[in-house]
Every structure is written in structure tokens, then in C-alpha cells.
Amino acid sequence: MEKIILTGDRPTGKLHLGHYVGSLKRRVELQNSGEFDKIFIMIADAQALTDNADNPEKVRQNIIEVALDYLSCGLDPEKCTIFIQSQVPELCELAFYYMNLVTVQRLQRNPTVKQEIQMRGFSDDEENQNKKGTPVGFFTYPISQASDITAFKATTVPVGVDQAPMIEQTREIVHKFNSVYGETLVLPEMVLPENTTCCRLPGTDGKAKMSKSLGNCIYLSDSSKEIKKKVNSMFTDPEHLQITDPGHVEGNVVFTYLDAFCTPDHFAKFLPEYANLDEMKDHYRRGGLGDGTCKKFLFNIMEEFLAPIRERRKVYEQDIPQVFEILRKGSEVARAQAAKTLEEVKDAMKINYFADKDLIAEQAAKYKAK
Ligand code: TRP
């Protein structure tokens, strides 16, 4: 069986360091591993519209931002198909049929959907003051996500932990479809990021998650100056007032980021006083190591991997029409693949009436016999 990857992001903002460690880095590695027959990377604009109905312009503006972030991180249009969800209408058609295989009650139990309904103020609970209600499209997005995955016969879906319920839902739909209509759809596996710090990079302010609305992000497109400013204002240890004071590394964002990014090579290059992070942490705990030194070290490490990303982004920014052309071509390739799967689905469901010689003959015979 072919090994196929499908994954994607909602275009609601530029991608940040949290996206990079949580998913982009892995995707580029998987792409370059040569282990996969096909890789589809989707800009999920239709899904983004399920909770941005009042702000379609935000989604429209961010398509190019996400595409630029993809390309600058090293996703290579020669090796993977980058496409825009809304340009593959077959996905909607698949979702429409899958809707009959999922109950409202099942969707209501989806933990990610539940949490997102609360976070977005859609809930109609007693406590919720504005009672906006939940858009039906939003409520059913796990089904649409099952179409995204199955349309490409994806075997492998690299995502963050918050997406686990979507993959589970997809697997249930695949089982149900195949048992009702016969073996047609491919059962996907989810792959999570390896390192747990990587799953969840905190914001620069120490809050659990990097998020645009909290204003605590480091963007892949940030300039060197912006990164320096953000690193220098990072949350550290509020009890570490004098350099000589003992310090805490737990909950200290600078050290969380060092955990995620630094290697012994970085010490040799930028901070040869220590052989590794453990030695550096010990010194910080004892007292005598200042936040300024730690931040400067972190900045050097981040610059080392962000500078080439930034440079590549600049090149693509100079030729935006070409980037749209990459997306157009990718969408064409994706559409052909999704159309093929849709045909197979409709065949399995026996709703391909005009291609169904048996049905026509059968009906003709019935009326002849009358
Ligand atoms: N839900 C994903 C996100 O929030 C985007 C997405 C849409 C996706 N369809 C997908 C991810 C299919 C993996 C597979 O970013």
C-alpha cells in the first residue's frame, strides 16, 4: 500500500514557533526522509471559515502568509503538494455523505469541539452571557476533516495532540463506511511530535500556549530585532532578582525554550563555559548566572535556525504570483486525487446511477415484464 501523508493548518494567522516545533519541523523531516509516496499539505481555509464567518477577510489574507511560512521552512513543492481546501469541492461532497454515518451525540462528545465551543463563546450554557450559539459548520468540522484525510487515502496524519479526537472520528467513519459499503477507505494513523516540550511550547509570557490572541508569540517571519526584543522580555524567575540569587528553571520560559532547542554543539559555539544544559541549569539554580547571559544564548540559538527561514521567506515574498501559482497547481493535483476517491465512494454507495449498467438494465426489465 502507498504511504501517504495529509495534514494542514487553518489560515487564521502567520505561523509561529509553536507551529514550527509542534509540526512544521517534523513535516519537513518526513518530506526529506523519502519514505512517503505522496505528501499533501492543506491550507484549511474552509475549516477556518467555520468559526470566522464574520471575518472572511482574515482567512483570505492569511492564505499567502501560511504558504510563505510553509515554503520558507523547507516544504518543497517538488516533493509535496501544497493546496487550498476550498479549491477541492469534492471534499464537501464526501463530507455530505459521511454526515449520515455520524450522530449528533457522537459529535457532542468530541473533547476538542467541546473545548472550542467554550473558548469561542458559542456555548448556550447558563453561565454564557452572549449565547452566540454554535454554527452547524463548526459543529460538524470533524466530519469535514475526515473527508480531508480520506479523500487523499492518507495513511499518516502528523498533528498535535489537540487533533487526536479528529483522527479518532475519522477512523470511526472509515470503519463504518467500509462495513456498510465494502472496503473502500483507508484507515489513517496519527503521528504526534516526539518530544513533549515540543508539543506545547509556552508563550514568551509563560502562559501555557503560544497564541496570537495572547500576544505572546514569536513568528517565523519576525525580524532579528523583533526576536531579540521578545527574548529579552521573556518571563523568567520572578524571585531571581540579583545575579547571585539562586534561581528556578522550572516555569522559567528561557529554560523551557532551551530544553526545546539547544544542543551541546550550541554550547561549544556560543557559551563554552558549560558543556551542556544540565551544567548551565545547575549554575542558575546555585546563583551567579544572570538572565541576560541566558537570554543572549537563547537568542543566538534561535537566530541560527530562524535566519535561514527568514532569508528564504524574503525570496518568495519577492514573487508572490509564483507562490499563488504553486498553490493553484497543487490544488489541481489534489483535486484530481479527491475526485478519484469520490468516484470510488459513489461506486461503493451505488449512487453512480448513469455509470450503473446493471441498474438501468434491471429497471428496464422490470417495466418490460409488466
Ligand atoms: N484542524 C487542523 C487545525 O486546526 C487543520 C486541518 C484541517 C487538518 N483538516 C485537516 C489537519 C486534516 C490534519 C488533517 O489546524
The per-residue pLDDT for range 54-86, each reduced to its tens digit, is 999 999 999 999 999 999 999 999 999 999 999
Confidence of residue 120 (pLDDT cuts 50, 70, 90): confident
pLDDT in the model for residue 248: 95
Q: Rounded CA gap, 185 and 173, in Å?
A: 9
Q: How many angstroms is it from 28 CA to the middle of ligand 1?
A: 17
Q: Closest residue (by CA) to atom 3 of ligand 1?
A: 9
Q: Residues 152, 342: contact at Cβ < 8 Å?
A: no
Among the residues of 77-214, which ranges form H helices? Answer: 90-98, 104-108, 111-119, 136-139, 141-151, 164-181, 196-199
* pLDDT, averaged across the chain: 94
pLDDT in the model for residue 194: 72
Confidence of residue 197 (pLDDT cuts 50, 70, 90): low
Q: How many angstroms is it from 8 CA to the middle of ligand 1?
A: 5
Percent of the chain with pLDDT over 70: 97
Output the ligand 1 site: residues, CB below 6 A.
6-10, 44, 47, 145, 148-149, 157, 159, 163
pLDDT in tens, 244-255: 999 999 999 999
Confidence of residue 171 (pLDDT cuts 50, 70, 90): very high
Confidence of residue 323 (pLDDT cuts 50, 70, 90): very high
Q: Rounded CA gap, 164 and 170, in Å?
A: 10
Report the candidate in 306, 298, 279, 282 with the shortest Cα–Cα distance to residue 236: 298
Q: Rounded CA gap, 257 and 261, in Å?
A: 6
Q: Rounded CA gap, 277 and 14, in Å?
A: 31
Q: Give the angle 321-324-329 at the CA atoms, nearest 5°.
A: 125
Q: Closest residue (by CA) to atom 9 of ligand 1?
A: 145
pLDDT in the model for residue 94: 98
Q: Closest residue (by CA) to atom 2 of ligand 1?
A: 9
Q: Residues 331, 87: contact at Cβ < 8 Å?
A: yes
E runs forming strands in the chain: 4-9, 38-43, 81-84, 156-158, 189-191
Q: Closest residue (by CA) to atom 13 of ligand 1?
A: 7
pLDDT in the model for residue 196: 55
Instruction: Indicate yes or no: pTM above 0.75.
Output: yes
| Interstrand relation of 189-191 and 38-43 (parallel, antiparallel or unpaired) | unpaired
Q: How many angstroms is it from 265 CA to the middle of ligand 1?
A: 35
